[in-house]
Homo-oligomer: A and B are copies of this chain.
């Protein structure tokens, strides 16, 4: 038993006379767990640590949560509430997508230790996160993407968002190349960005996030414009990209056999499939 657990136990014992049941709630347990996770990472975050923090016995927690897995689920819900995607109900798809991406990144950047954990955690069947996904997909489908494409777009955007949240958790000078003569372009770029950061009072991570968001949105707009024109560029070999694309109006691909054929090649040739916008 390590000293953290021992001190947690002692702390739990010391306060055992308090009317702990009355102050305990699922919400309080999960908020406490998130605070511990932020402060100490995964290590300071056992059931006993949480109990000690709340001044109760670990067994009391089980009246409100099933265990650590359940607490993780609760943390995801807590963060997920901040990125419900409600703007998709009212705003144009692209305005909503940008606003949602920013909220999403900010929600995770506020809790760096959750990023890698929750990025690989399966969705719970009752998760409110699914409601947000439903909104995103409905919005994209209404603009002409098939639902499976919309899901690929959603997941790729999430990857960008979570990677950007990690970047936001890094030190602002993380990429400083230091004094060296063999990387002149990189050194010049780093110096130029430092001036930009200073002038715009915008952290490096925010500059990069907004740049990537702009590129992804412009990429989406280019695809949408191309579809509205009903041109059919050669994208054979690009997985996830229908050779016979959807109509510009929303298309139901709940039966995805509709938009066959697709090719079975796992990785496209780089020089084809990326050229729609030029």
Please list the residues of chain A having a beta carbon within 8 angstroms of any beta carbon in chain B.
2, 43, 92, 94-95, 98-99, 102, 112, 115-116, 119-126, 130-131, 133-134, 137-138, 141, 146-153, 155-164, 166-167, 169-171, 173-180, 182-186, 188-193, 195-196, 199-202, 204-225, 238-241, 252-257, 260, 262-268, 270-271, 273-278
Number of identical protomers: 2
Are B164's CB and A156's CB within 8 A?
yes
Are B156's CB and A175's CB within 8 A?
no
Contact of A188 among B188, B253, B265 (CB under 8 A): B253
Contact of A130 among B95, B183, B202, B271 (CB under 8 A): B183
Point out the residues of chain B lying under 8 angstroms from A240, CB to CB. Answer: 196, 200, 202, 207-208, 210-211
Shortest A23–chain B CB gap in Å is 33
Point out the residues of chain B lying under 8 angstroms from A134, CB to CB. Answer: 182-186
Are A138's CB and B185's CB within 8 A?
yes
The chain B residue with its CB closest to the CB of A133 is: B186
Contact of A137 among B98, B186, B273 (CB under 8 A): B186
The chain B residue with its CB closest to the CB of A127 is: B177
